[in-house]
Copies of this chain bind each other. A is one copy, B any other.
């Protein structure tokens, strides 16, 4: 039974390949759009208070003049400007007050004649005959012989302090157009012409379906081997950002009938987006269900793109149905590539061109021939030049997309991009905001704590966890403000200092305790000095270790430990090839039984409920490029590092202070 399932699966996987008939991105797009009606899906009336961020579905002409009458802009007297000629402080002109005061909202009954003035409030309607308003400050009411006069102390010109009817908006004038995106500014004008409701394009409804047995909705417990459904959340929010209305359809297990039902329900929406589990088997199931749609049905399955090769594009009766790959980065990239422009068109919005910027690639990048590759990068300033670091976590990562500044395109013909190459980075956000502090290097929970404080003080921080050595090199190139490192020099047995070159300043950080970690109760390791414990492990062919990536400070420690225990370089112990990239990955493997021992800091061992034998009091320090020492965020970082509050917090996390120099 087990064997037959296995063979079936392998066979199925081979068959699935047959369906992938990889076409170019252009070909896929053109086949897809050919069957779509890229027009707004409809219109609806909304009140002005709901109109923000909506797209107008009508041209709007004003049914009124704004203002609707000649309006006084000040408190004062409406009169004939010619009557004021020659008036000055020492020789005021006298006119007779006439009529009632003209308040806003009141139609003035009396006309003004030569020699007369009518009191008018700001916003009041200019009476017939008046051609200007004299400010109250330049008038005086005087009584003489039982009669009241208005004295004018400054001459006026015709039209003074008057806004004529229709000056702002003329009756019949177009003030807004079909396709216009409404912000507070347009809404103000629409209110001013008396519009209470406007016709806007209906938001396209986008069904979002996640598939896969291993997919668990956020908020629920996570069984081993399962993953939280991040695609539904990010796709739904992205649909909103594009002007659509996401309609969640939940996570559907790998069951053809349930998937069929979900798809049928989803077809009431304007667009249907499925994203596979991470398994191609699940993708195949979605494909089988979507394959039954006709007119025309699937138009492309397999696109020469990385990430995103297995994307499947279908149209049925003009409705787009897309199966995105399950891996988060693949899903969001193919979504933005194929689905986003469709949503914007259906919402009546123009295609947005993302801005781009030039940068230099500091490292070598390999790419697959025959596929257009989108490589997510983080941008950091190096002098006048930006450096574009590949984010490097692969298409299965969800943080890659959230932390990247943009991406570069590597065309189908290019296999290698050499370090130093100039690249064009398409930005993910509209703007490239420089961070107050750029931190590249080894990751540490203690460092996280200090950066969290800086963030709460309002500073923006960009971090890239690339390991000690890569961080050191980035600091040497001036690409970061700060690199966390813990590199042991095998020659001197000293941490970090031997690696510091002239352009860098070493800032003492703290100590962390590297330990041999194992499951509690494992007699092979318990209560034994590390070298003894590793010797026992080497003697047991069933005993699995877990290694760390080369270039990491911990890897150097592991290699020394193995050497001390007499391991052979030529025949490394089982598990030596598994190069986990963090303390956490080591601890997780040991806890889950995928390995029996590894090296990690005590803090992490505690978090995972593992036993830990102290191995080395490690120095976690910082290097700062000298030319960047004066930056305010760098100075603030150093202040915090020296502060009693941070020292106490680090201590509570299990980190110890560096010895006094």
In the bound assembly, the distance between CA atoms of A173 and B585 in angstroms comes to 12
In the bound assembly, the distance between CA atoms of A9 and B77 in angstroms comes to 11
Q: Which chain B residue has the least Cβ–Cβ distance from A180?
A: B455
Most chain B C-beta atoms within 10 Å of own C-beta, residue among A5, A48, A577: A577
Q: Assembly of this chain: how many copies?
A: 2
Chain B residues with CB below 8 A from A238, complex form:
184
Please state if A189 and B399 are interface contacts (CB–CB under 8 Å): yes
Stretch of A99-107, A290-298, A481-489, A560-568 on the interface side: A99-107
Q: Does A186 contact B (CB under 8 A)?
A: yes
How far apart are A449's CB and chain B's nearest CB, in angstroms?
8
Please state if A582 and B129 are interface contacts (CB–CB under 8 Å): no
- B-contact 0/1 string along A573-610, CB 8 Å cutoff: 01111111111110111001111000000001001100
Please state if A608 and B171 are interface contacts (CB–CB under 8 Å): yes
Q: Does A59 contact B (CB under 8 A)?
A: yes
Chain B residues with CB below 8 A from A190, complex form:
218, 233
In the bound assembly, the distance between CA atoms of A168 and B582 in angstroms comes to 10
Please state if A585 and B165 are interface contacts (CB–CB under 8 Å): yes
Please state if B394 and A73 are interface contacts (CB–CB under 8 Å): yes
Chain B residues with CB below 8 A from A80, complex form:
574, 577
State which residues 169-204 of A face B: CB under 8 Å: 169-175, 177-180, 183-197
Q: Does A396 contact B (CB under 8 A)?
A: yes
Please state if A170 and B101 are interface contacts (CB–CB under 8 Å): no
Q: Which of B191, B241, B400 contacts A228 (CB 8 A)?
A: B191
Q: Does A367 contact B (CB under 8 A)?
A: no
Q: Which chain B residue has the least Cβ–Cβ distance from A52?
A: B237
Stretch of A219-227, A492-500, A510-518, A611-619 on the interface side: A219-227
Please state if A350 and B458 are interface contacts (CB–CB under 8 Å): yes
How far apart are A650's CB and chain B's nearest CB, in angstroms?
15
With A73-B396, A177-B452 as given contacts, are A575 and B131 in contact (CB-CB < 8 Å)?
yes
Q: Does A332 contact B (CB under 8 A)?
A: yes
Q: Which of B64, B141, B213 contacts A103 (CB 8 A)?
A: B213
Chain A interface category by residue count: 35 or more
Stretch of A29-37, A120-128, A378-386 on the interface side: A120-128
Q: Which of B216, B227, B235, B585 contacts A164 (CB 8 A)?
A: B585
Please state if A398 and B121 are interface contacts (CB–CB under 8 Å): no
In the bound assembly, the distance between CA atoms of A333 and B554 in angstroms comes to 58
Q: Which of B122, B131, B187 contacts A279 (CB 8 A)?
A: B122
Please state if B188 and A119 are interface contacts (CB–CB under 8 Å): no
Most chain B C-beta atoms within 10 Å of own C-beta, residue among A9, A282, A604: A9
- B-contact 0/1 string along A124-154, CB 8 Å cutoff: 1111110110001101010000001000000
In the bound assembly, the distance between CA atoms of A374 and B101 in angstroms comes to 32
Please state if A225 and B125 are interface contacts (CB–CB under 8 Å): yes
Q: Beyond the given A67-B396, A123-B212, A177-B455, could you list 8 further A-B residue pairs with CB under 8 A, ordered by the A residue number?
A: A52-B240, A68-B225, A104-B214, A107-B225, A168-B399, A177-B456, A187-B237, A192-B228
20 contacts across the A-B interface (CB closer than 8 A)? A5-B100, A10-B141, A66-B398, A68-B588, A69-B224, A70-B589, A80-B577, A104-B227, A126-B594, A157-B577, A166-B588, A167-B580, A168-B396, A168-B399, A173-B443, A185-B428, A191-B218, A194-B228, A195-B219, A197-B219
Ranked 8 nearest A-B pairs via Cβ:
A158-B577, A196-B219, A123-B278, A188-B234, A105-B214, A184-B237, A170-B584, A191-B233
